[in-house]
Amino acid sequence: MSKNLTTRAEDYSKWYNELVVKADLAENSGVRGCMVIKPYGYAIWEKMQAELDRMFKETGHQNAYFPLFIPKSYFSKEASHVDGFAKECAVVTHYRLKTSEDGKSIEVDPDAKLEEELIVRPTSETIIWDTYRKWIESYRDLPILVNQWANVVRWEMRTRLFLRTAEFLWQEGHTAHATKDEAIAEAEQMMNVYADFAENFMAIPVVKGFKTANERFAGAEETYCIEALMQDGKALQAGTSHFLGQNFAKAFDVKFANKEGKQEYVWATSWGVSTRLMGALVMTHSDDNGLVLPPNLAPIQVVIVPIHRTEEQLEAISNQVGELVKQLRKLGISVKYDDRVTQRPGFKFAEYELKGVPVRLAIGPKDFENGTYEVARRDTLSKEIVSKEGIVEYIQNLLEEIQTNLFQKALDYRNTHITEVNSFDEFKEVLDSKGGFVSAHWDGTTETEEKIKELTKATIRCIPLDRIEEAGSCVFTGAPSKGRVYFAKAY
Amino acid sequence: MSKNLTTRAEDYSKWYNELVVKADLAENSGVRGCMVIKPYGYAIWEKMQAELDRMFKETGHQNAYFPLFIPKSYFSKEASHVDGFAKECAVVTHYRLKTSEDGKSIEVDPDAKLEEELIVRPTSETIIWDTYRKWIESYRDLPILVNQWANVVRWEMRTRLFLRTAEFLWQEGHTAHATKDEAIAEAEQMMNVYADFAENFMAIPVVKGFKTANERFAGAEETYCIEALMQDGKALQAGTSHFLGQNFAKAFDVKFANKEGKQEYVWATSWGVSTRLMGALVMTHSDDNGLVLPPNLAPIQVVIVPIHRTEEQLEAISNQVGELVKQLRKLGISVKYDDRVTQRPGFKFAEYELKGVPVRLAIGPKDFENGTYEVARRDTLSKEIVSKEGIVEYIQNLLEEIQTNLFQKALDYRNTHITEVNSFDEFKEVLDSKGGFVSAHWDGTTETEEKIKELTKATIRCIPLDRIEEAGSCVFTGAPSKGRVYFAKAY
C-alpha cells in the first residue's frame, strides 16, 4: 500500500482531497458535483446517524418522510427563503424520455412537460409546512417533533468531497409549537444536542453561538450554530438550529386554536447536520500518515495482524487470537483479525494507519512465546508491549483514552487559536499568521461585516452564547460595541 | 375516535386507502404521486430497515451511497434498461430559478440549462456500474457486495399510497462477481433472505420463483422473486433479485484480470425491496377494525390503559403499572402506558385497535383489587383476565403466539388460494370466483402470456422454484408444457 500522501504543510487542501479518496471514504462520480460515499466512509456516517438518531428520539422526536420534490410555487410563499435557494437548485421540467427519430439517441420528450416545475428539495421547510397545515387544528396537536433523514440538492458551483457537494445527505428536524418560548427552547436544545454530539462523540470541540442577520438561514429569525476549527485555522460550521418564528406558518397558513379557542399562527424551528461532518472529522484529527478516527466513530476499532514464517506459527497465533476476538466483541468492541496471506504485515500496517484504525495489535512468534502483544496507537503513533493477561482491559481503557486524548488535543489547538484583537491591523495580522477565531468588537452593522469580508475573506462565524457583555469599539469603524464576536475564514 | 372504516367486503380498495390514512401510516402530499410517510408508518418502516440491514450485513454486505442523478447518456448504454425506464422518469433540465421581469413570480432561468439532462434515479445500475469500473481491476477486488438505502422516482401515472408512488424508498443491492455461478448463487441467496424476512419477520407467506422473460427486470437475464397473496385474492410482488449476467459490465466496460491474468467481464446481480412492503403488510393482516400488526413490526407492542373514577385510583394503578412497564422494557418489549386524562378509555381502545397494537391491557379498580389485568389480543379480538403474577411471562408468550398465529392464518389463506386448473374455462372461473394463484400449464411463449393477460388481466407471477416437472398441455393453446406456473391478478 503506497500512500504518497501530500503533507498538510505542503498543501492542506490537497492533503484533504487525497486523503478522502485514498482512505476509501468517498470519490467524485460521473455526475458533476455529486459524490459516491464508499463503504468505509458510509460505515462512519452510519455510526453518526445511529448516535444522532438515538439522541433525537431521547429528546422526544420521531422520524418521518416527506417528498423529494417541491412545487415551484411553494418556494415563492416565503420571500427570503426563495432568495436563499432559488439560485442554486435542480429543476425537474419533464417526466419522460423518448428515442430520437433516427433511433440513435434518447432525448427529452417535449410532449411530457410538467405543468408546474418541481424543485429537488434543497431543504424541506416549504413542503413540510404545507403538510403541517393538515395536521394541526388545535393546541392538542402541538408540539410536532419530527425529523427526516434525507438527501438534498443545492447546485453549488465549486464542490469538494463532503464539504460542499451538489447532493448531500443530512437530517432535518422540523418542529411546530404553540408558543414562541417553547420554539426558542427547542432550537436551543437542538444546538446543545449537536454540541454534545460533536464534542463527546466526534471529539470535535465547538463554539456555540448565534449567527448575525446576514449569515442567518433564509427564513429564520435566529440561527443558532456550532462552529468547529480545522487544523489549518479555518472554521467550519458543523450544525445549525433555526428559530423560524411564524414565518412559515404565515406563508402556508398554519394556525391552531389555543386553549381559549382563539386562532393563532404556529411557531417553528428547523435544525440540521449533514455529511459535511465527515469533512470536519477528517480535518480535525487526521495527520500526514492518514486518517485518525475517534474510537466512537471507527468502523474497525481494533485490528490484529499476525506475523509468522510457518503455517504452524500462524495456526498457533490464530487460535490464541480467536479467543481474544471473542472477548473483545462481547464488550461491543469491533475487531478485525487480518490473517490474509496475500499481503505482508508492513502493507497491512500502512493500510490501517491510512484508514485511521485506533488500535493495532501485532503478534509474532516472539510475542507468542513471551505471552505478549505489540500494541500501537494510531493517535500518538506510539507502541507498547503488553502482556496477554489483562490485554482486554488494557484495550478497553486505551480506546477510552484515545477518545479523550483526541478531544483534548483538538481543544488545546482550538483554545490557542482564539485571539482577541483590538485594531484592524492586528485583526489582519492574526488572520494571516495563525488564523483561527479572531475575537473582536463589531459595530453590529451588516455593512461593516461585509466590508471586512471583502477585505479579509473573514466572516462572523458567530456571536458566542457565553460572550461577556463589555463596552468596546468596533475594530473596523470604531463605533460602539457591546461585546466581541468571532471572525474567521471558513469552509 | 370515530373510525367509519369502509369494510373489506364493501370495497377492498377503498378500505385500504382509508386505513392507510386513518391509521396514520401515510397520506398524499401536494406533489402529484408523492406521499408523506407519517411518523407511525415510518416507525414500522424503520423496523423493517433495521432487520433487513442486519440480514444484509450478516451475509457480508456493506452499505454505500451513489448519486441521485443519472446522466441521460448512461441510460442509453444498456438497451433494454432504457426501454424499461425512460418512459416514466423525472428529468432535470435546469439548475436555477429567477424572478420574473415583473417581479411577481419565479420561473426557470433559461440561461441555466444543463448541457446534459439528468434523470432522477429510477434504479441505480447504470451509475453504480459506471463507478465499479474504477473499483475493479483484478479478481482480488471481487466480489463487491454493496447495498444502498435510497429514494427512487418512477413517474407512475396511477398511484396508490405505498403500492405505487412516484417516489418511494427502497434498498438496492448491487454486487459484482468473478464467475457466473457465484453471481447466480448471490441472486438466489438474496431471494431467500427476502423470503425469510417476509415470512419470519412480517408474517407474510411467499412463493419463491422466477419471472418469465416478459416480466423480467429491464436488463436482467433472470429475475427471482417472492410473491405474496393479499386478502382480496390479488398477488403482490414483494421483492426481486436479479441475475444480470454481464450486461451492465459490457455496457460500462467493467473487466477484471482473472487468476491467469486474462481480462474478463464482471458478473452482476441487483436486488431490492421497497416501501411497497408496507402495503403488503396492511393488506395481508388487517381487518375491518383497522390495522393488525405482527409484534415484530409494531412500534408499540403493548399498550396499557387505566380505567378509574378518582385520582387516588389512578395513582394506585399507575404505581403498579409503572413496575410492569419497567419489567417489560427490560425484555425489549415496547410498551406505552396511556394515562391521558383528556380521553376516555373507550376512545383509547378504538385508537389502538385502529393502529394495530398487538396486545392491550386494561386495568380498572376491580382488576386492581383482584390483582388482575384484562388482556385483549388485536389479532383475534379476544379478551382474557390474567393474574398480575406471571403477567410478564404471559405477555412475552402471547406476543410470540400472535406472531405465529398471524403467519399461520395468512398461510392457510394462501394455501387454499392456490388452485390447479386444466382448462381455460376453469382458469377464468377460478380467477373470477375466488382469485388467488391459478396454477396452470403454459406453453412458454410470450404471445400466449400476453393473450391471457389481455383476456383475464392475470399475469404469470412466477415459475415456482419448487415446481414439479410434469408433462402437460398449455391451458390456452394446448401446446406442450413441462410444468405449471402461477397466474394471478396482481398489484
Among the candidates B285, B315, B344, a domain finishes at B285
In angstroms, what is the C-alpha Rg of chain A?
26
Q: Is A56 exposed, middle or buried (0-12, 13-18, 19+ CB in 10 A)?
A: buried
User: Rounded to a whole number, what is the distance in Å from the CA of B43 to chain A's nearest CA?
Assistant: 7
Residues A317 and A459 in one domain: no
Is the Cβ pair B67, A118 closer than 8 Å?
A: no
Please report residues of B whose CB lies closer than 8 A to that of A63: 39, 42-43, 46
Is the Cβ pair B117, A108 closer than 8 Å?
A: yes
Interface test with B, best of A57, A89, A95 (most B CBs within 10 A): A95
> How far is C-alpha A216 from the geometric centre of its chain's CA atoms?
18
Phi, psi of A115 (to 5 degrees): -65, -45
Domain assignment present for residue A294? The answer is: no
Using CA atoms, how far apart are residues A428 and A417, in angstroms rounded to an integer? 14
Residues B348 and B452 in one domain: no
Residues A25 and A58 in one domain: yes
Q: Is A76 on the interface with B (CB under 8 A)?
A: yes
Q: CB within 8 A of A354, min separation 6: which ones?
A: A1, A3, A5, A22, A23, A289, A290, A291
Residue of A nearest to B120 (CA): A92
Please report residues of B whose CB lies closer than 8 A to that of A39: 62-64, 146
Q: Is B251 on the interface with A (CB under 8 A)?
A: no
**Residue-wise pLDDT tens digits, A206-239:** 999 999 999 999 889 999 999 999 999 999 999 9
Q: Which of residues 331-360 of A touch B (CB under 8 A)?
A: 342
Beta strands A167-177; A97-99: pairing state: unpaired
Q: Which of residues 193-212 of A touch B (CB under 8 A)?
A: none
CATH number of residue B477's parent domain: 3.30.110.30
Q: Is B263 on the interface with A (CB under 8 A)?
A: no
Is the Cβ pair A72, B120 closer than 8 Å?
A: no
Q: Is B35 on the interface with A (CB under 8 A)?
A: yes
The β-bridge partners of B479 are: none
Name which of A71, A90, A134 is nearest B31 (Cβ-Cβ): A71
CATH number of residue A161's parent domain: 3.30.930.10
Beta strands A359-363; A383-387: pairing state: unpaired
Using CA atoms, how far apart are residues A7 and A4, in angstroms rounded to an integer? 9
Using CA atoms, how far apart are residues B245 and B251, in angstroms rounded to an integer? 11
Name which of B42, B70, B89 is nearest A65 (Cβ-Cβ): B42
What does the pLDDT read at residue B100? 85
What does the pLDDT read at residue B2? 46
Using CA atoms, how far apart are residues B185 and B267, in angstroms rounded to an integer? 11
Q: Which residues of A197-232 are buried (b: 16+ CB within 10 A; e: fewer)?
A: bbbebbbbbbbbbbbbeebbbbbbbbbbbbbbbbbe
Please report residues of B whose CB lies closer than 8 A to that of A88: 95-96
Please report residues of A whose CB lies closer than 8 A to that of B36: 64-67, 131
Is the Cβ pair B87, A94 closer than 8 Å?
A: no
Q: Is A267 on the interface with B (CB under 8 A)?
A: no
Residues A370 and A483 in one domain: no
Show the cell assigned to A124: 424541506
Domain assignment present for residue A20? The answer is: yes
Inter-CA distances, B43 with A79, A100, A474, B297, Å:
34, 45, 52, 9
Residues B40 and B184 in one domain: yes
Using CA atoms, how far apart are residues A248 and A80, in angstroms rounded to an integer? 11
Decide: A64 and B42 in contact? Cβ < 8 Å: yes
Is the Cβ pair A118, B87 closer than 8 Å?
A: no
Please report residues of B whose CB lies closer than 8 A to that of A47: none
Using CA atoms, how far apart are residues B184 and B377, in angstroms rounded to an integer? 43
* Angle, CA of A2, A4 and A7, to the nearest 5°: 145
Residue of A nearest to B87 (CA): A96
Does the structure show a pLDDT above 80 at A1? no
What confidence category does residue A3 fall into, taking pLDDT thresholds of 50, 70 and 90?
low
User: Rounded to a whole number, what is the distance in Å from the CA of A447 to chain B's nearest CA?
Assistant: 25
Cβ neighbours around B13 below 10 Å, total = 12
Residue of B nearest to A343 (CA): B140
Q: Is B77 on the interface with A (CB under 8 A)?
A: no
Please report residues of B whose CB lies closer than 8 A to that of A99: 86
3-state secondary structure chain B: CCCCCCCCCCCHHHHHHHHHHHCCCEEECCCCCCEEECHHHHHHHHHHHHHHHHHHHHCCCEECECCCEEEHHHHHCCHHHHHHHHHHCCEEEECCEEECCCCCCEEECCCCEEEEEEEECCCCHHHHHHHHHHHCCEHHHCCEEEEEEEEEECCCCCCECCCECCEEEEEEEEEEECCHHHHHHHHHHHHHHHHHHHHHCCCCCCEEEECCHHHCCCCCCEEEEEEEECCCCCEEEEEEEEEEECHHHHHCCCEEECCCCCEEECEEEEEEEECHHHHHHHHHHCECCECCCCHHHCCCCEEEEECCCCHHHHHHHHHHHHHHHHHHHHCCCCEEECCCCCCCHHHHHHHHHHCCCCEEEEECHHHHHHCEEEEEECCCCCEEEEECCCHHHHHHHHHHHHHHHHHHHHHHHHHCCEEECCCHHHHHHHHHHCCCEEEEECCCCHHHHHHHHHHHCCEEEEEECCCCCCCEECCCCCCEECCEEEEECEC
Q: Positive or negative, the Cα torsion across A120, B75, A162, A379? A: positive
3-state secondary structure B95-140: CCEEECCCCCCEEECCCCEEEEEEEECCCCHHHHHHHHHHHCCEHH
- The count of domains in chain A is 3
Please report residues of A whose CB lies closer than 8 A to that of B134: 27
Residues B156 and B241 in one domain: yes
Name which of B29, B64, B99 is nearest A131 (Cβ-Cβ): B29
Residues A46 and A148 in one domain: yes
3-state secondary structure B203-219: CCCCEEEECCHHHCCCC
Phi, psi of A219 (to 5 degrees): 120, 0
Angle between helices B39-58 and B180-200 (to 10 degrees): 140
Q: Is A134 on the interface with B (CB under 8 A)?
A: yes
Among the candidates B398, B433, B449, a domain finishes at B398
Phi, psi of B323 (to 5 degrees): -65, -45
Share of residues in chain A with pLDDT > 90 (%): 93
Closest CA to A298 of A16, A44, A21: A44
Residues A252 and A310 in one domain: no
Using CA atoms, how far apart are residues B255 and B263, in angstroms rounded to an integer? 6
Domain assignment present for residue B101? The answer is: no
Name which of A75, A88, A105 is nearest B106 (Cβ-Cβ): A75
Domain assignment present for residue A388? The answer is: yes
Give the mean pLDDT of chain A: 96
Residues B333 and B461 in one domain: no
Q: Is A1 on the interface with B (CB under 8 A)?
A: no
Using CA atoms, how far apart are residues B215 and B449, in angstroms rounded to an integer? 10
Decide: B402 and B377 in contact? Cβ < 8 Å: yes
CATH number of residue B323's parent domain: 3.40.50.800
Is the Cβ pair B62, A39 closer than 8 Å?
A: yes
Domain assignment present for residue A174? The answer is: yes
> How far is C-alpha A245 from the geometric centre of its chain's CA atoms?
25
ipTM: 0.96
Closest CA to A361 of A306, A439, A319: A306
User: Rounded to a whole number, what is the distance in Å from the CA of A343 to chain B's nearest CA?
Assistant: 12
Q: Is A106 on the interface with B (CB under 8 A)?
A: yes
Name which of B99, B108, B131 is nearest A93 (Cβ-Cβ): B108
Residues B191 and B254 in one domain: yes
Residue of B nearest to A152 (CA): B68
Q: Which of residues 287-326 of A touch B (CB under 8 A)?
A: none
* Angle, CA of A49, A50 and A56, to the nearest 5°: 85
Residues A320 and A380 in one domain: yes
What does the pLDDT read at residue B3? 61
Residue of B nearest to A165 (CA): B67
Q: Is A64 on the interface with B (CB under 8 A)?
A: yes
Phi, psi of A103 (to 5 degrees): 75, 5
Name which of A30, A67, A86 is nearest B71 (Cβ-Cβ): A30
Name which of A31, A46, A95 is nearest B71 (Cβ-Cβ): A31
Domain assignment present for residue A247? The answer is: yes
Is the Cβ pair A151, B146 closer than 8 Å?
A: no
Please report residues of B whose CB lies closer than 8 A to that of A117: 108
Residue type, A175: T
Is the Cβ pair B92, A96 closer than 8 Å?
A: no
Using CA atoms, how far apart are residues B8 and B291, in angstroms rounded to an integer? 12
What confidence category does residue A100 fall into, taking pLDDT thresholds of 50, 70 and 90?
confident
Instruction: Tell me what the mean pLDDT of segment A67-95 comes to.
Output: 90
Domain assignment present for residue B405? The answer is: no
Phi-psi sector, A396: left (phi>0), alpha (psi -120 to 50), beta? alpha
The stretches in chain B having pLDDT less than 70 are: 1-3
Among the candidates A255, A285, A315, a domain finishes at A285
Please report residues of A whose CB lies closer than 8 A to that of B105: 76
Q: Is A382 on the interface with B (CB under 8 A)?
A: no
Name which of B36, B70, B75 is nearest A66 (Cβ-Cβ): B36
Name which of A30, A106, A167 is nearest B76 (Cβ-Cβ): A106
Q: Is A94 on the interface with B (CB under 8 A)?
A: yes
Is the Cβ pair B106, A72 closer than 8 Å?
A: yes
Q: Is A416 on the interface with B (CB under 8 A)?
A: no
Residues A342 and A474 in one domain: no
* Angle, CA of A279, A84 and A251, to the nearest 5°: 125
Closest CA to A127 of A89, A78, A90, A87: A78
Residue type, B296: N
Domain assignment present for residue A354? The answer is: yes
**What range defines the domain where residue A319 resides?**
302-398
Q: Which residues of B27-40 are buried (b: 16+ CB within 10 A; e: fewer)?
A: bbbbbbbbbbbbbb
Decide: A478 and A422 in contact? Cβ < 8 Å: no
Name which of B63, B69, B106 is nearest A42 (Cβ-Cβ): B63
Is the Cβ pair A131, B36 closer than 8 Å?
A: yes
